[in-house]
């Protein structure tokens, strides 16, 4: 039986990847951060809480990385743990650099010393492209990171390639574009919208406040994307792959789709003002723009080209459409609100 170590097992991708690997017959070791209140709701949501072998672990703590690898000798390691929220990286740039960037060197160097035959997957990101000049973005697009998060991920990306080339470690990076699901964190815009829509429908809140509505993202379904992580480690050589759907939408379009699916009439702030600038009562649910959700710098337009993953890994980028993704998320949040 193959053994896999997944860091960030309490996160969205960690949960979906655990499920995928358990279904494939792997023994799954889930590395989680020990905090005062355990955070296993995603594993519970997918019904795998008692199937994953949970190991306390922190990416900033080398002894805990060493113990996880030494004690369990995993064949495959998926490094999904990170401070992954772009907005927070502007407030905590040093912690983000340490956890999301430097820790990958800690991890790889322990692999080099004690388990060099293991395969390693690094969770790279489309944020590394930043405001790229090339559309769509592929494996050859120059990087232009626009946040401390993206800078940290770019460091992690390069050190993964460096360890692979320098020491012959099977270390691959997936440059994943945004991927979402019903177990996405509520800080991220898609889940903020779908949970907001469900709360509005339940009469708990009356409006939704967002930041930049004009940015475009290539949004896919997390359950489809984790499959590509696994495929990368089954490939004959370590490599770098863009993972994306090849289609993008604005935040505004996501809002419109979510409201339509929930059967709510959408009104944008300002569209119903009277002569003295007072908001008219239109009966519509208002979406307001609040400057506090704008970032010091944003990435305007991301669109990925998954052709290499399609050709070499036989991965299907079109398994879940944008419409289906929004529907899956809205319906799950409506169900949650109904208890």
CB of 295 to ligand F7E, least distance (A): 6
- The conformational region for residue 283 under phi > 0 = left, psi -120 to 50 = alpha, else beta, is left
Q: Other CB atoms closer than 10 Å to residue 211's CB: what's the count?
A: 17
Rule CB under 6 A: say whether 137 interacts with ligand NAP. Answer: no
In contact, 168 and 116? CB cutoff 8 Å: yes
Q: Which is nearer to ligand F7E, 118 or 172 (CB)?
A: 172
Say how far apart CA 294 and CA 298 lie, in whole Å.
Answer: 8
Min dist. Cβ of residue 70 to ligand F7E (A): 29
Q: From the CB of 163, what's the least distance to ligand NAP, in Å?
A: 17
In the list ligand NAP, ligand F7E, none, the entry touching 185 (Cβ below 5 to 8 angstroms by class) is ligand NAP
96 is a catalytic site residue: no
125 given a catalytic annotation: yes
Q: Per CB under 6 A, does 13 bind ligand NAP?
A: yes
Q: Is 303 in the site for ligand NAP (CB under 6 A)?
A: no
Contact call for residue 60 and ligand NAP (CB under 6 A) = yes
What is the token pair recorded at 82?
């990170």
Determine the interface stretch with ligand NAP among 69-77, 172-180, 204-212, 294-302 (rule: CB under 6 A).
Answer: 172-180
Q: Which of 5, 6, 99, 128 touches ligand NAP (CB under 6 A)?
A: 99
Phi/psi of residue 147, nearest 5 degrees: -150, 160
- Total residues contacting ligand NAP by CB under 6 A comes to 26
User: 3-class DSSP state for residue 238?
Assistant: coil
Q: What is the DSSP letter of 280?
A: P
Among 149, 155, 180, 320, the active-site one is 149
Dihedral in degrees, nearest 10, Cα atoms 302, 178, 315, 163: 90
* Alpha carbon distance 330, 190 (integer Å): 10
Which residue stretch of 7-15, 137-145, 199-207, 315-323 sits at the interface with ligand NAP (rule: CB under 6 A)? Answer: 7-15
Select from ligand F7E, ligand NAP, none the partner in contact with residue 276, using the beta carbon and a kind-dependent cut-off of 5 to 8 Å. none
Q: Give the one entry of ligand F7E, ligand NAP, none that residue 328 binds, where binding means its C-beta sits below a cut-off of 5 to 8 angstroms depending on kind.
A: none
Figure out which of the listed residues 1, 23, 35, 47 binds ligand NAP, where binding follows CB under 6 A.
35
3-class state of residue 106 by DSSP: helix
94-104 CB burial, b ≥16 within 10 A, e <16: eebbbbbbbbb
Q: 4, 5, 6, 10: which one contacts ligand NAP (CB under 6 A)?
A: 10
The residue assigned the tokens 């072998």 is 53
**From ligand F7E, ligand NAP, none, which one binds at residue 189 (CB under 5 to 8 Å depending on kind)?**
ligand F7E
CA 69 to chain centre: 24
Q: What is the largest CA-CA distance in the chain?
A: 72
- Residue 92 or 212: the one with the smaller Cβ distance to ligand F7E is 212
State the residue for tokens 């030494």: 70
- Least CB distance to ligand NAP at residue 59 (A): 4
Note if the bond before 87 is cis, omega within 30 degrees.
no
212 binds, among ligand F7E, ligand NAP, none (CB under 5 to 8 A by kind): ligand F7E
Return the number of other C-beta atoms located less than 10 Å from residue 156's C-beta. Answer: 26
Which residues lie below 8 Å from residue 206, measured CB to CB, with a gap of 6+?
200, 285, 286
- Catalytic entry in 16, 29, 100, 127: 127
Q: Give catalytic residues, as residue numbers.
A: 125, 127, 149
Contacts with ligand NAP, residue ranges (CB under 6 A)? 7-8, 10-14, 33, 35, 39, 57-60, 80-84, 99, 123, 125, 176, 178-179, 185
């Amino acid at each position: 039986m193959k053994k896999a170590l997944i860091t960030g097992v309490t996160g969205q991708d960690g949960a979906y990847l655990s499920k995928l690997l358990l279904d494939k017959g792997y023994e799954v070791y889930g590395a989680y951060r020990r905090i005062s209140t355990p955070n296993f709701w995603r594993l519970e949501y997918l019904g795998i809480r008692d199937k994953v072998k949970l190991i306390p672990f922190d990416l900033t703590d080398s002894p805990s990385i060493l113990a996880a690898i030494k004690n369990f000798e995993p064949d495959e390691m998926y490094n999904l743990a990170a401070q992954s929220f772009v907005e927070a990286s502007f407030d905590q740039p040093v912690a983000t650099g340490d956890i999301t960037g430097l820790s990958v060197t800690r991890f790889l160097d322990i692999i080099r010393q004690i388990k060099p035959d293991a395969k390693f997957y690094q969770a790279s990101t489309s944020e590394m492209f930043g405001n790229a000049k090339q559309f769509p973005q592929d494996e050859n697009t120059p990087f232009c990171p626009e946040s401390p998060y993206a800078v940290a991920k770019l460091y992690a990306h390069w050190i993964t390639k460096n360890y692979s080339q320098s020491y012959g470690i099977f270390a691959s990076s997936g440059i994943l574009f945004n991927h979402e699901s019903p177990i996405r964190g509520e800080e991220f815009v898609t889940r903020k919208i779908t949970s907001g829509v469900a709360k509005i429908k339940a009469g708990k809140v009356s409006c939704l406040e967002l930041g930049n509505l004009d940015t475009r993202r290539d949004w896919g379904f997390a359950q489809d994307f984790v499959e590509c992580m696994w495929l990368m480690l089954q490939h004959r050589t370590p490599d770098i792959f863009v993972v994306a759907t090849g289609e993008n939408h604005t935040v505004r379009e996501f809002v419109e789709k979510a409201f339509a699916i929930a059967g709510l009439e959408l009104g944008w702030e300002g569209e119903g003002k009277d002569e003295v600038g007072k908001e008219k009562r239109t009966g519509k649910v208002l979406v307001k723009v609040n400057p506090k959700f704008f970032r010091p710098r944003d990435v305007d337009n991301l669109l990925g080209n998954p052709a290499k993953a399609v050709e070499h890994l036989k991965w299907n980028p079109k398994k879940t459409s944008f419409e289906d993704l929004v529907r899956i998320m809205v319906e799950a949040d409506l169900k949650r609100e109904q208890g």
